[in-house]
Structure 1
Amino acid sequence: MTNDALRVLSFDEIGLSEAPENRVVSTGFALWVRALMQNWRQGTVACKDRGEMTSRSNKKPWKQKGTGRARAGSARSPLWRGGGVIFGPQARVRKLGLPQNTKKTVLGALVTERLSAGVIGALNWESNQERPKTAAAYAALKQSGLVDKKVVLFVAPDDVATYASFANIPSVRMLFFDQPNAFDLAHSDYWLVLSKDVDRFKEVASQWI
């Protein structure tokens, strides 16, 4: 797919080598996605135990003996309806890390595979710095034939205008050059970089191999 707005990037232009072995890549990819899913969790799920159940009285419901009923010490008991929860989940930090070499191996395989498939392109488009327009960004994607595809767009952290232009397009996922992740890169149909950022993409991609 090549037109005036879109230019497909090649191996010669990027200067990358072959991908690592699939066994290593698939294992590293699975570990990375698992870590991402875990780290993206909010981690605020929590249940109240009997000491936190302020909606129920902590007073002894009835005297210990002489009523014929089972003894009870508190309406907050987990055995009672509306009482606390025994061993329920509590808010905690669930963070998983991953070795940098593993990330590098996975990214190298992904960029090599995408270059082989011809699905990394440079978009000849510039955003309006004063008034970013989503309509203009959408028109550029439509002209390039990418409007119906899941696109990952690499942007610079300080490129606020480009980010604002593409932010409201549901099919576009934006990643900063220094913060790639395996999940978004693998679950996309096309990688896109603006023509002005091609040199920066080359520099970043060369570090993945």
Structure 2
Amino acid sequence: MELKLIGDDGQSAASVSVPDSLFGREYNEALVHQVVTAYLANARSANRAQKGRSDVAKSTRKPWRQKGTGRARAGMASSPLWRGGGKIFPNSPEENFSHKVNRKMYRAGMGAILSQLVRENRLSVVENFVLDTPKTKILAGKLKDMKLNEVMIVTDSVDENLYLSSRNLPLVKVVEAGHVDPVSLLRFANVLITRGALAKMEEMLA
């Protein structure tokens, strides 16, 4: 299939050929959900630690006798039912939140996302995207001319001037082709990808 190659003014200048296997897939919502969930889960770190019943510094003495007080039975103050007692299922730093997704499934999910972006006219291809000086105003003006407000710019190699210019724009993100993730592709309203980055993504996800 063919994708439009736009110029600096946002108008279509030419076209570039891309494989249907990556940009012409049907949208598989279940697969995309699985890929996104796995990506978010694998980004989690087990940095929480709670105390269980055996970890709480409480006396093991029985608080009161078993019968005759009129109160409920109680064994020790470290009971999870008591305030200050241990947790029933405490969080541990050894927890593993990772989800496994096969490489073939991940590539198919990314292809489904990219194909949907093409169908919704949210993906644009540009020959190159560099800046001569690190000026946020210049980048903002360039994106305004291209009629792009909230956009993720994907390049084959991040230009330092482009990266520095984008840091103060909250709705703009600059990434290399190898660091594109499914969550960002879905979150941003538009995706602007250079021709070199497009070739890299085709190689990675083919």
Given the two structures, how large is their TM-score scaled by the length of structure 2? 0.73
1:134 & 1:115 partners in 2: Cα distance? 28
Q: Deviations over 1:101-140 (max 9, x none)?
A: 12222333333443455431327642356xx333332222
User: What is the one-letter code of the residue matched to 1:174?
Assistant: V
2:130 & 2:44 partners in 1: Cα distance? 35
Tell me, which stretches of 5 or more residues in structure 2 are unaligned?
none
2:145 to 122, 143, 146: 143
| Change beyond 3 A, Cα 1:107–1:63 | closer
How many angstroms does 1:160 deviate by? 3.8
2:31 aligned partner: 28
Counterpart contact for 2:7–2:13, Cα < 8 Å: no
1:120 aligned partner: 124
| Change beyond 3 A, Cα 1:133–1:48 | farther
Q: Which has the higher strand share?
A: 2
- Residue 109 (1) aligns with residue 112 (2): yes
Counterpart contact for 1:77–1:83, Cα < 8 Å: yes
2:81 aligned partner: 79
| Change beyond 3 A, Cα 1:133–1:80 | same
1:205 aligned partner: 202
2:177 aligned partner: 177
User: What is the one-letter code of the residue matched to 1:191?
Assistant: V
Given the two structures, how large is their TM-score scaled by the length of structure 1? 0.72
1:90 to 89, 92, 99: 92
Percent of matched pairs sharing the same residue: 22
Tell me, which stretches of 5 or more residues in structure 1 are unaligned?
none
User: What is the one-letter code of the residue matched to 2:202?
Assistant: A
Counterpart contact for 1:9–1:121, Cα < 8 Å: no
1:109 & 1:140 partners in 2: Cα distance? 29
1:58 aligned partner: 59
SS at match of 1:51: coil
Larger CA deviation: 117-126 vs 165-174 = 117-126
Counterpart contact for 1:152–1:191, Cα < 8 Å: yes
2:67 & 2:119 partners in 1: Cα distance? 83
SS at match of 1:84: coil
RMSD of aligned residue pairs (Cα, Å):
3.4
| Change beyond 3 A, Cα 1:137–1:53 | farther
SS at match of 2:54: helix
How many angstroms does 1:67 deviate by? 9.0
| Change beyond 3 A, Cα 1:204–1:65 | closer
